[in-house]
Structure 1
Amino acid sequence: MADPSTYRPKPGEIPDSPGVYRFRDEHRRVIYVGKAKSLRQRLNNYFQDLAGLHPRTRTMVTTAASVEWTVVGTEVEALQLEYTWIQEFAPRFNVKYRDDKSYPSLAVTMNEEFPRVQVMRGPKKKGVRYFGPYGQAWAIRETVDLMLRVFPVRTCSAGVFKRSAQIGRPCLLGYIGKCSAPCVGRVTPEEHRELAEEFCDFMAGHTGSYLRRLEREMQEAAEELEYERAARLRDDIDALKRAMEKNAVVLADATDADLIAVAEDELEAAVQIFHVRGGRVRGQRGWVTDKVEAVGTAELVEHALQQLYGAEQGDAATGGGSGGVPKEVLVPALPEPAGPIAQWLSERRGAQVSLRVPQRGDKRALMETVDRNAQHALVLHKTKRASDLTTRSRALEEIAEALDLDSAPLRVECFDISHLQGDDVVASMVVFEDGLARKSEYRRFQIKSFAGQDDVRAMHEVVSRRFRRYLVEKQRTGEWPDEELGGELESGPVPEPPEAGEPAAARQPAQGAGRDEDGRPKKFAYPPQLIVVDGGQPQVAAAQAALEELGIDDVAVCGLAKRLEEVWLPGESDPVVLPRSSEGLYLLQRVRDEAHRFAIRYQRGKRGKRLRGSPLDAVPGLGETRKKALLKHFGSVKKLRAASVEEISQVPGVGRKTAETVAAALSGTAAGPAVNTATGEIVEDE
């Protein structure tokens, strides 16, 4: 591991101008490429105290052994050079998008004497016009089959074309009218190229003028009593309309736009792109990436734009297909600054490009659809990654190695605390076995021994209750114990997890000596090999103290801090930083996120139950919005009841008169308990 101070440039060496910089490792391999408006200001940020750097940036600068830079004239030139170098060197610490699947495109080989329509995958070729990409290859073939009636362009391979020319007979498509048969000279090369260009124009969204022309020709043929020709034109129009119906109309007829959405978490990001041409969705594609850099949504959008349009050189290269740079590019967040990337896109297109965030209307609605697709793609990617047995095994082995465990932790339990400003304090316990969630063994806890924002104390209580139950389960042969457990478990076995706030399941007697029918240890009699807590050093220390107080020394403990994804161990002053590409880190994150989701769901349900039975319901003229504002400001009805009229009137949206009404109403109900209107139960005012 290199010390950044050993290769830090001397003061005054770095120019204060736009440019692109490269970090190289000890073997002279480029590991990171970046651009900057001011090279001096940007590079100085990398050579500050290592403790102040993001963990991923810290790893990069300690892996590097040298830095070099190239000065350019403008930020746009820096953007172009950065893209070129990223494509050339493939630096390991730069964001690298990869397709979440292989997308087919409809291609027209305009670089051949007789252009051919075909389905293509992989990198784009010069002189070929692309449309798409599409979700399925069969969808392309269906569309092409409909359009060949009107645009009988060649679709055969080079071998079939050559053989037909040699024998002087066209293939089947030539006989049935779905190919103009240039192989046997039915049309000249110029006439066939004109057909291919018309095909491309129609696919590019220029449909209205062509349909109007066909309709005009059909009417003229009918007026001249050429009914067979008129009927053929009518059928051609119907075929084209059916092909157009395969792409739903979503925007105004003349709209050409690409919509880009990003779904991300701390470790990965998924990008979805919808290509809209002529108001219709002509193509869709998606990427996923590991977040090696410490990047946000704006930076992810910038990298996506570079990869999507980096190879484009204006409409001439792409023919205006859905792969080219459109008039509008709609994104969830603008890069900082947005001017250079917008200018770069305009240069790529050869005309002005509007780069913006949609705020309202149809484009905003379609952007929400793209965003849902991105969220789904990220979830699907994670599911596929988690379902692979080899990957799960490697993740468990990496965790065991990083935490210095004797064996892979086949059962992992994770705990999380949730509350709202100290009220409705609850906890969750989720269980993963062999790297997969075991939802039937999830548990929910209600913290009753204290109130307030003390996650450390709550973590100690939950771990203590869980393992006191475990010690009793090991020896029990009769009913569940009560007093010696130091608090009740909120629910029994939880099917995929129950709606938060559901009545707690009744405790059930044992069946046999602490065993299920299949002989498996029942409920808490089965201990984990590893406990994961959502938090850092304090939460880990609390969980470890709870185990030591109970005399349990064969269960490992670690914590996962959400902000920097660091793994904390008991008694250690420094965290364990797992590699960014580690499957072990990915599994720990999934476990932590699941515990957080389960706790939040339960806490919201309890809060909703309390709100429905709130004394504020009896205050005349107080709606849900101001009711929630009051509870959010004071935290509980108890604190609101103790507040003065002046303090209540300081809440946004609550005037003096309303504050007096609230104070009067609460002072009159001070002795009366709140009632849950849904169940009729009395709810204590916490």
Structure 2
Amino acid sequence: MPDPASYRPAPGSIPVEPGVYRFSDPHGRVIYVGKAKNLRSRLTSYFADLSNLHPRTRQMVTTAAKVEWTVVSTEVEALQLEYNWIKEYDPRFNVRYRDDKSYPVLAVTVGEEYPRLFVYRGPRKKGVRYFGPYSHAWAIRETVDLLTRVFPARTCSNGVFKRHRQIDRPCLLGYIDKCSAPCVGRVSAEEHREIVDDFCEFLSGKTDRFARELELEMTDAAERLDFERAARLRDDLSALRRAMEKQAVVLGDGTDADVVAFAADELEAAVQVFHVRGGRVRGQRGWVVEVANEPEVDDGVTPEQRLVGQFLTQFYGDQAELRGAADAGGDESTNPVPREVLVPCLPPDADELADWLSGLRGSRVALRVPQRGDKKALAETVARNAAEALAQHKLRRAGDFNARSAALQSIQDALGLADAPLRIECVDISHVQGTDVVASLVVFEDGLPRKSDYRHYAIREAAGDGRSDDVASIAEVTRRRFARHQADTAPKAGTEEFSAEGKSRRFAYPPNLYVVDGGAPQVNAAASVLRELGVTDVAVVGLAKRLEEVWAPGDQDPIIMPRNSEGLYLLQRVRDEAHRFAIAFHRSKRSKRMTASVLDAVPGLGERRRAALVAHFGSVARLKQATVEEITAVPGIGAATAAAVLTALGGAPTQTSENGVAP
């Protein structure tokens, strides 16, 4: 464990100007990024008496081995640089406002010829408009189900749309008038786009116009004694009003604002955000994070003020980056930065933060604390939600944390480790009789899966006699994984600088425990590779499936852990997760190979044209039933190639005559 005094900067060498600083560990990886109005005052506070520091801060300074800083001219530049460094280095001790789940949104593919509506989770894409986020996917589906009575836009996937276009028959939604059925030509592409545009306008807040239009049409139909159409319009108007009721008006003046509230204790903080657009709550998000890492400084800034500043910088920086990469040309309703941000207290750099948010939005953004009226009442509601979220989180984590701590302690005791294995990696091999051999590597940190660090490997050194060689495969994966670790942590030639320059390297840290799926042969193979590479600080064990025995390198007998041991449960969960991940990769690789192999024997048919044929006909079975004339309709396919395809598939090369009858 490094001593903070060993890398403390010399007295007077730290400037007093504003800037951004970063702490790095002995491997050269950046572990914390912060900003300060006065760098000397801020950095000096980290090297005070360790007993007076927050536990998380104390862990950070004892993990670090170096501190660096960059002086900037303005605090707006400091905000931008801090955000960029956090994004680039992904420091482990910075508070990151990542959702514990991916919030669903309603996506509209406006970039397609026939746009569609669907529930979506994940990164933003270009040519798609997003509405939300929503707390639950069922809320989106319920809203879409109500609104497609009035705006019958398509909701089917591209594959379903293409299939019904080929068979010239609409799906069930087309028959019950919840889709305008552009697949069979009931409406043109322009008419369908008008329907989608009206749908987007309604969700953007322009609701009153559509309600008035439907009411006028209903009255007109009743006056013309067209009671069937009037009844249908009455039902549409009722559905429209029910959808409007789901978005309650909370700010009657049509305000566009985000309302932010916090509930915190000494260790964790809950954050809640209500997205209000056009006076209606359009979405809600929540996080529970560990509290800030910075030590207390006598500068009059409270922990809540620092929390507000950190949250606004990270959250709106990420949202603006997503929109910039996806639909920078979108309309006002898709702008992630609202006109107004309501917070419980102003951060110390409120003016600079407002200027930075204004730059992200492209127009002026007001950052204020609500004092009275509807905004104050809404802020109190959001604060109650934050307090409830923190209480529920602590109730859940109490049981989870105790169980995970007991599991890690059990593993430490059973294996005789010096410390609890906070990072566990497990490797598993998957194959079918030695073919398509693949491996998976899964990572658990603090007893929880860290899926962003999962890796899979295509094994290059499988046995050539048609049989699987799991031992050699385990050795290969271990060598590749730890060779990567050594490359990440090796300094540049002739310097003391590290090769990756502190950037986020998920495998720069070796695991505390390396688990292989298997018994003594597999464990000994992995241990031999680690000795060969000079890795001495990683414990290796194997977990055999038959009797759930734990094997250590060189031992003649296995370690038997109690069947009801929390540690054994955790090892089994890690092993099973590695098995699941390996099988999923193996199946995808095998299915691709098998699909491609059907057409591999066709001379002159390359990979792109094979893919074009399968995409055009949807399956090899339909391709087999096609005629030469139908196959040559695919771009790049000639008559000779089409005949060769049918011959390879076992079909008869036929060509339709002019009257449509096959000769």
Normalised by the size of structure 2, how large is the TM-score? 0.55
1:306 lines up with 2:313 in the alignment: yes
Distance change in 2, residues 1:210/1:346 (3 Å): farther
Corresponding residue for residue 205 of structure 1: 205
Say which one has the larger Rg.
Answer: 1
Contact conserved, 2:250 with 2:279, CA < 8 A, in 1? Answer: yes
Contact conserved, 2:273 with 2:382, CA < 8 A, in 1? Answer: yes
Task: Give the secondary-structure state (helix, strand or coil) at the position aligned to 1:191.
Answer: helix
Instruction: Output one character per residue of 1:71-120: Cα deviation in whole Å (capped at 9) or x when no partner.
Output: 44432232223223222322121112343544322222233332221112
Instruction: Output one character per residue of 1:535-592: Cα deviation in whole Å (capped at 9) or x when no partner.
Output: xxxxxxxxxxxxxxxxxxxxxxxxxxxxxxxxxxxxxxxxxxxxxxxxxxxxxxxxxx
Distance change in 2, residues 1:343/1:367 (3 Å): same
Contact conserved, 2:97 with 2:315, CA < 8 A, in 1? Answer: no
Distance change in 2, residues 1:111/1:251 (3 Å): same
Contact conserved, 1:131 with 1:323, CA < 8 A, in 2? Answer: no
Structure 1 segment 315-334 matched on structure 2, within 5 A: 317=328, 319-321=331-333, 324-334=336-346
Range that drifts further, 214-223 or 199-208: 214-223
Structure 1 segment 114-125 matched on structure 2, within 5 A: 114-125=114-125
Between the aligned partners of 1:167 and 1:92, the Cα distance in structure 2 is: 54
Corresponding residue for residue 240 of structure 2: 240
Corresponding residue for residue 162 of structure 2: 162
Between the aligned partners of 1:395 and 1:341, the Cα distance in structure 2 is: 44
Structure 1 segment 268-283 matched on structure 2, within 5 A: 268-283=268-283
Between the aligned partners of 1:309 and 1:211, the Cα distance in structure 2 is: 34
Q: Which amino acid aligns with 2:313?
A: Q
Two-structure CA RMSD over aligned residues (Å): 3.1
Between the aligned partners of 2:216 and 2:18, the Cα distance in structure 1 is: 57
Distance change in 2, residues 1:169/1:69 (3 Å): farther
* 2:360 alignment partner, one of 339, 348, 351: 348
1:336 lines up with 2:348 in the alignment: yes
Between the aligned partners of 1:292 and 1:366, the Cα distance in structure 2 is: 26
Corresponding residue for residue 382 of structure 2: 370
Between the aligned partners of 1:127 and 1:17, the Cα distance in structure 2 is: 44
Instruction: Output one character per residue of 1:26-63: Cα deviation in whole Å (capped at 9) or x when no partner.
Output: 10111001123344443344345556644433432232
Task: Give the secondary-structure state (helix, strand or coil) at the position aligned to 1:289.
Answer: strand
Structure 1 segment 378-389 matched on structure 2, within 5 A: 378-388=390-400
Distance change in 2, residues 1:235/1:208 (3 Å): same
Question: Any gaps of 5 or more consecutive residues in structure 1?
Answer: 402-686
Q: CA deviation at 1:11?
A: 5.9
Structure 1 segment 95-494 matched on structure 2, within 5 A: 95-218=95-218, 232-291=232-291, 293-294=293-294, 296-313=303-320, 317=328, 319-321=331-333, 324-388=336-400, 391=403, 394=406
Q: CA deviation at 1:394?
A: 2.1
Structure 1 segment 64-79 matched on structure 2, within 5 A: 64-79=64-79
Q: Which amino acid aligns with 2:365?
A: V
Between the aligned partners of 1:312 and 1:96, the Cα distance in structure 2 is: 14
Between the aligned partners of 2:403 and 2:354, the Cα distance in structure 1 is: 41
Distance change in 2, residues 1:174/1:306 (3 Å): farther
Q: CA deviation at 1:351?
A: 1.9
Q: Which amino acid aligns with 2:337?
A: V
Between the aligned partners of 1:33 and 1:239, the Cα distance in structure 2 is: 51
Between the aligned partners of 1:15 and 1:292, the Cα distance in structure 2 is: 23
Task: Give the secondary-structure state (helix, strand or coil) at the position aligned to 1:312.
Answer: helix
Contact conserved, 1:386 with 1:392, CA < 8 A, in 2? Answer: no
**Identical aligned pairs, as a percentage?**
66
Contact conserved, 1:130 with 1:321, CA < 8 A, in 2? Answer: no
Contact conserved, 1:258 with 1:329, CA < 8 A, in 2? Answer: yes
Between the aligned partners of 1:11 and 1:370, the Cα distance in structure 2 is: 46
Range that drifts further, 74-83 or 149-158: 74-83
Between the aligned partners of 1:138 and 1:397, the Cα distance in structure 2 is: 41
Between the aligned partners of 1:190 and 1:85, the Cα distance in structure 2 is: 46
Contact conserved, 2:129 with 2:334, CA < 8 A, in 1? Answer: no
Between the aligned partners of 2:222 and 2:241, the Cα distance in structure 1 is: 20
Distance change in 2, residues 1:85/1:116 (3 Å): farther
Between the aligned partners of 2:73 and 2:164, the Cα distance in structure 1 is: 56
Contact conserved, 1:258 with 1:328, CA < 8 A, in 2? Answer: yes
Normalised by the size of structure 1, how large is the TM-score? 0.53
Q: Which amino acid aligns with 1:168?
A: D
Between the aligned partners of 2:185 and 2:353, the Cα distance in structure 1 is: 49
Between the aligned partners of 2:218 and 2:4, the Cα distance in structure 1 is: 75
Corresponding residue for residue 608 of structure 2: none
Q: CA deviation at 1:320?
A: 4.7
Distance change in 2, residues 1:20/1:293 (3 Å): same
Contact conserved, 1:106 with 1:140, CA < 8 A, in 2? Answer: yes
